[in-house]
Structure 1
């Protein structure tokens, strides 16, 4: 029996993403996605092998929206890297529950590979090479992924900060005071502030190639 032409991988991915956004990553299953599509679970198996394939479809749907083209070349390398990191954060941040899937399936995602290729080209032009370039890329990925999770699962305006600010100052003087200041730091300020610190700490070793910025 031929497959319905309307049930494309994109439509299946969109249904799976709806389940994740609404009910969380733990709710993702062949059964819940089939229900979202108005199918029986067995019918969905005609289109998707297993949950792993569902996850890969979702990752590519989300990350496929990231602009992976190189930023304008007239800016410094740090400014161009910041553009790339912002693009990834803004796109994935709209679906924070998908973040763990991006870690699992990033090696199979053409969009992640293209994003990484663009960032590596910027770093290479700036003079990064070898293991230093590896660490720079991994550090940037670790920062943006961790920042998204902190923003949505442990924001500075959340209950955790309130609880820490109420700790007894005689026992936790630095934690309680810092938490009180943290309540006034917005998500954008926190993200850009942390990224600025990271980028300032990235310095290419001496070698050939321009190192603007």
Structure 2
């Protein structure tokens, strides 16, 4: 009779995400993941080929988590408020998962999310900005908003807003200006 599994792939990925957030990329080791899920490191290789595959699974899971959060404001009927709520959800996600946020938007050095997952993640924003701008400019509007939000959030998380002032107020001011500029 085969022995029962002591862990699962979802448990391994969850453990890896937790380690990544607490210790960065350097803290993500197969040994640390194994300890967190209560198995020996060689047991992980039954589920995950190597650290690179584990990191790719973490990126995919993190993007899926973000996608779910970006879909939540979809119940908002006013398109401008829905777009703002999605941007706020992105910012809240980044504050809760700064390392994961960085991995999703990293330009090099980490696995890229699968194209289908990226399309799924951007669909809620595209739907919302289409209602604001019309179909002709929806992709441009989504890119503008995402680039601004990503830049703002990255600077915020990096502690680069040291000139004083209320960062939350600056976020709201910028977001309001961008959303208003998108309306037809």
What TM bracket, shorter-length normalisation?
A: 0.7 to 0.9
**Aligned position for 1:164:** none
Separation in structure 2 between the aligned mates of residue 190 and residue 25 of structure 1, nearest angstrom:
30
Separation in structure 2 between the aligned mates of residue 147 and residue 13 of structure 1, nearest angstrom:
28
Distance apart, 1:24 and its partner CA: 1.5
**Aligned position for 1:140:** 145
Distance apart, 1:26 and its partner CA: 3.2
Distance apart, 1:133 and its partner CA: 2.4
**Aligned position for 1:189:** 169
Partner deviation per Cα, 1:23-66 (whole Å, 9 max, x = no partner): 12332233332233233332211111233432343342542651
Distance apart, 1:96 and its partner CA: 0.5
Separation in structure 1 between the aligned mates of residue 10 and residue 52 of structure 2, nearest angstrom:
15
Residue 127 of structure 2 is aligned to residue 121 of structure 1: yes
> Unaligned stretches of 5+ in structure 1?
162-178, 204-210
Higher radius of gyration, 1 or 2: 1
Distance apart, 1:155 and its partner CA: 4.5
**Aligned position for 1:152:** 157
Distance apart, 1:94 and its partner CA: 0.3
Residue 69 of structure 2 is aligned to residue 66 of structure 1: yes
**Aligned position for 1:19:** 19
> Unaligned stretches of 5+ in structure 2?
106-110
Distance apart, 1:16 and its partner CA: 0.9
Separation in structure 2 between the aligned mates of residue 190 and residue 31 of structure 1, nearest angstrom:
42
Separation in structure 2 between the aligned mates of residue 3 and residue 52 of structure 1, nearest angstrom:
26
Q: Give the RMSD, CA atoms, in angstroms.
A: 2.7
* SS of the residue 2:149 aligns to: helix
Change over 3 Å in CA distance of 1:194–1:109 after alignment to 2: farther
Asked if 1 retains the 8 angstrom alpha-carbon contact of 2:67 and 2:120, the reply is: no
Separation in structure 2 between the aligned mates of residue 11 and residue 96 of structure 1, nearest angstrom:
20
With structure 1 as the length reference, what TM-score do the two structures score? Answer: 0.68
Where in structure 2 are the equivalents of 1:168-179 lying within 5 Å?
179=163
**Aligned position for 1:42:** 42
Separation in structure 2 between the aligned mates of residue 102 and residue 122 of structure 1, nearest angstrom:
21
Partner deviation per Cα, 1:82-121 (whole Å, 9 max, x = no partner): 11111222123201011232125444574x5444212211
Separation in structure 2 between the aligned mates of residue 109 and residue 13 of structure 1, nearest angstrom:
20
